[in-house]
């Protein structure tokens, strides 16, 4: 059988439809995965303490960093990537009445803090001095410690703790933690 121009264009038509269908399926699958993992957006405007909320509610819970937003926008930081690298306990916080403690990547740290209303004043953390075997993408430990140091506004939204802080140049940084 000889392929005529009309028969070839028919094949190309069906091949193009099949390619378009496959591309659409890939886009839908990627959107579904990205949308399912997205945290709730940080609250808009300046933080306002939730009525009846105090830091006492944070005691005894671990908070795991899940979102980092700088003045340039969201960073490449990924909690899922940390879990994949078996570093799920990195970039965590835990409060008691006078101290904040947790883990960077890979160092454990502690820092005294004071609270007034929805403001935390966090002193520079004291940490162990281990060198990382793997440094997670999107956030360096020294930046994490820097973001935690100084005055930060906090807000509790659903099961998220949001800290509004500043980077070394004074730009706004929003840290979103999930509680466990």
Q: What is the pLDDT of residues 72-131, one digit of tens each?
A: 888 889 999 999 988 999 999 999 988 999 999 999 999 999 998 889 999 999 999 999
Q: What is the pLDDT of residues 34-70, one digit of tens each?
A: 444 445 555 554 444 444 456 777 788 899 999 999 9
Q: Coil, helix or strand for 106?
A: coil
CA 100 to chain centre: 19
CATH number reported for the structural domain that contains residue 142 in this entry = 2.40.128.270
Our count of domains for the chain comes to 2
pTM beyond 0.85, yes or no: no
Range of the domain at 145: 55-179
Kindly state whether residues 62 and 99 are assigned to the same domain: yes
> Does residue 164 have a pLDDT over 70?
yes
pLDDT band at 138 (very low <50, low <70, confident <90, very high): confident
Q: Which residues contact 97 (CB under 8 A, 6 or more apart)?
A: 59
**DSSP readout, 36-103?**
HHPPPPPPSSS--PPTT--GGGGBT-EEEEEEEEETTEE-S--HHHHHHTT-TTSSEEEE-SSEEEEE
Q: Which residues contact 171 (CB under 8 A, 6 or more apart)?
A: 70, 71
150/78 Cα distance (integer angstroms): 24
> What are the residues facing 99 on neighbouring strands?
112
Kindly state whether residues 29 and 96 are assigned to the same domain: no
Kindly state whether residues 86 and 127 are assigned to the same domain: yes
């Amino acid at each position: 059988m000889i392929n005529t121009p009309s028969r070839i264009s028919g094949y190309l038509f069906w091949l193009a439809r099949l390619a378009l269908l496959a591309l659409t399926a890939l886009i839908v699958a990627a959107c579904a995965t990205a949308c399912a993992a997205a945290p709730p957006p940080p609250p808009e405007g300046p933080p306002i303490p939730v009525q009846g909320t105090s830091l006492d509610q944070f005691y005894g819970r671990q908070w795991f960093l899940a979102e980092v937003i700088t003045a340039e926008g969201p960073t490449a930081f990924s909690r899922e990537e940390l879990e994949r690298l078996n570093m799920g306990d990195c970039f965590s916080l835990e409060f008691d009445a006078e101290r904040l403690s947790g883990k960077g990547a890979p160092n454990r740290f502690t820092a005294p803090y004071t609270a007034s209303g929805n403001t935390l004043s966090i002193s520079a953390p004291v940490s162990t001095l281990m060198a990382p075997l793997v440094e997670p993408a999107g956030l360096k430990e020294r930046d994490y410690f820097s973001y935690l140091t100084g005055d930060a506004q906090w807000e509790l939204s659903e099961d998220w703790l949001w800290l509004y802080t500043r980077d070394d140049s004074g730009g706004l940084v929003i840290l979103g933690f999930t509680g466990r």
